[in-house]
A = this chain, B = another copy of it.
Amino acid sequence: MKENHRKAVILLSGGLDSSTTLAIAKQEGYEAYALSFRYGQRHDREILAAQNVAKYFAVKKHIVLDIDLRSFGGSALTDDIPVPKERGIAEIAGDIPVTYVPARNTIFLSFALAWAEVLEAYDIFIGVNALDYSGYPDCRPEYIDAFTKMANLATKAGVGGKTFSIHTPLIRMTKSEIIQKGISLGVDFSLTTTCYDPSPSGDACGTCDACILRLKGFRESGITDPIAYQKKDKS
């Protein structure tokens, strides 16, 4: 395998954040390898979005892995637990919600690390956000730092003197700033999907935490969200 330090693995969910993250990696000159997961999420329409976004940005390769997190359950996204609706921003920013999927980012980053090591890519991008987020512990900088330390002890490459970096370009940005950044980099947000509980035809619900944060971000950035909603939020 030819050594090439400009390869990067990008975790791509098909949402607004990961699509912007992919655009940033491309802008920084990385050859992009996108990785998505069909993990039993109720909103697996996001896989289609990820495929469209990966194609739009002409990634070098896109892998969609099947991992069945329904075997464990424990989240509104993978189990028969209702997705919360119509919550206010303060409530969303409060406790860790039932849409938290145990260890999800750890699982995703572990697979990204595996692929990165095979590719001889030492850069991994993930669109986590510690500001306008849903209170998930695995979106915080201290978590990312700890994962990076572990990754460099876990791998043949790490032991051999290479250093894996986890890039989190959105971690300190507001949703509105992310949207503006995405627009400036040519992200077509009509391809993205954010909703935890879309209709069978794929329209966003407009009232789950993810929709509320997305809609707030578009409103604050003065840009119209191009995707279809069953019901716009009223705030």
Check: A74 CB closer than 8 A to any chain B CB: yes
- List chain B residues, Cβ under 8 A from A69: 114
In contact, B67 and A71 (Cβ under 8 angstroms): no
- List chain B residues, Cβ under 8 A from A102: 113-115, 117-118, 155-156
Considering only CB atoms, which chain B residue lies closest to A69 in the complex? Answer: B114
Instruction: Tell me which of B66, B67, B140, B150 contacts A106 (CB under 8 A).
Output: B150
- List chain B residues, Cβ under 8 A from A113: 102-103, 106
Considering only CB atoms, which chain B residue lies closest to A111 in the complex? Answer: B107
Check: A149 CB closer than 8 A to any chain B CB: yes
Of the candidates A101, A149, A158, the one having the most CB atoms from chain B within 10 angstroms of its own CB is: A149
Instruction: Tell me which of B118, B158, B159 contacts A72 (CB under 8 A).
Output: B118
Q: Assess A149 versus B151: contact at CB under 8 Å? Given A65-B71, A96-B159, A156-B102.
A: no
Considering only CB atoms, which chain B residue lies closest to A102 in the complex? Answer: B117
Instruction: Tell me which of B72, B110, B147, B149 contacts A107 (CB under 8 A).
Output: B110
With both chains docked as a complex, state the minimum distance between the C-beta of A100 and any C-beta of chain B, in angstroms.
Answer: 6
- List chain B residues, Cβ under 8 A from A156: 96, 100, 102, 137
Instruction: Tell me which of B118, B149, B150, B153 contacts A73 (CB under 8 A).
Output: B118
Instruction: Tell me how many chains of this kind the complex includes.
Output: 2
Check: A90 CB closer than 8 A to any chain B CB: no
- List chain B residues, Cβ under 8 A from A118: 72-74, 102
In contact, A154 and B68 (Cβ under 8 angstroms): no
With both chains docked as a complex, state the minimum distance between the C-beta of A65 and any C-beta of chain B, in angstroms.
Answer: 6
Of the candidates A101, A107, A150, the one having the most CB atoms from chain B within 10 angstroms of its own CB is: A150
- List chain B residues, Cβ under 8 A from A96: 156, 159
Check: A185 CB closer than 8 A to any chain B CB: no
Check: A104 CB closer than 8 A to any chain B CB: yes
Task: Name 15 A/B residue pairs within 8 A (Cβ), A-sorted.
Answer: A66-B67, A69-B114, A96-B156, A100-B156, A102-B114, A103-B155, A106-B154, A107-B107, A137-B154, A137-B155, A137-B158, A143-B150, A143-B153, A146-B146, A146-B153
Q: A138-B155, A150-B150 are in contact. List 9 more A-B contacts (CB 8 A).
A: A72-B118, A96-B159, A102-B114, A102-B117, A103-B114, A137-B153, A143-B150, A147-B150, A149-B149
